[in-house]
Amino acid sequence: MTSELHPKLFVSDADAAIDFYTTTLDATLDLRVADDHRVVHHAEIILGSAILALAQSVPEWGWNTPGSVGGTPVLITANVSDPDATAERMVHRGAELVIPVENRPYGKRQGRVRDPFGHLWVISGPLR
């Protein structure tokens, strides 16, 4: 049996989020499902071997953005080959640098950003 986890992020603007994540994380859009009103209820982007799903928030369904609930309780880690460049791209595209990317004593080069949709990311990679 194969087990996988596909987290789904709820965002205020799904198409903007698709653009942000594919551009800044070098991810690929694999699936986009929208209703007749062009509201994206499910999209999947591929980052390496990981699948990240996202959708437009729909509060009446309980699909809330981090901002609507006072922030996110989840921290997402993206392991990338160049964490400095990835964090820089994210900030350039509207993310907030929360913790600078630096070599950490536990053997990784990491920093933290809050994306324009309120989700927190640890951008991680090899030591430099």
The string of pLDDT tens digits covering residues 56-88 is: 999 999 999 999 999 999 999 999 999 999 999
Nearest by Cα to 117 from 6, 24, 1: 24
What tokens appear for 84 in the block? 């400095």
Nearest by Cα to 44 from 22, 29, 27: 29
The CA angle 74-11-124, to the nearest 5 degrees, is 45
- By percentage, how much of the chain surpasses pLDDT 90? 95
pTM of the model: 0.93
**Structural domain boundaries in the chain:** 8-125
The region of weakest confidence among 4-8, 24-28, 79-83, 120-124 is: 4-8
Taking the C-alpha atoms of residue 95 and residue 105, their distance in angstroms, rounded to an integer, is 25
Class of domain 8-125: alpha beta
The string of pLDDT tens digits covering residues 103-125 is: 999 999 999 999 999 999 999 99
Residue 91 CB contacts under 8 Å (≥ 6 apart), including other chains: 97, 113
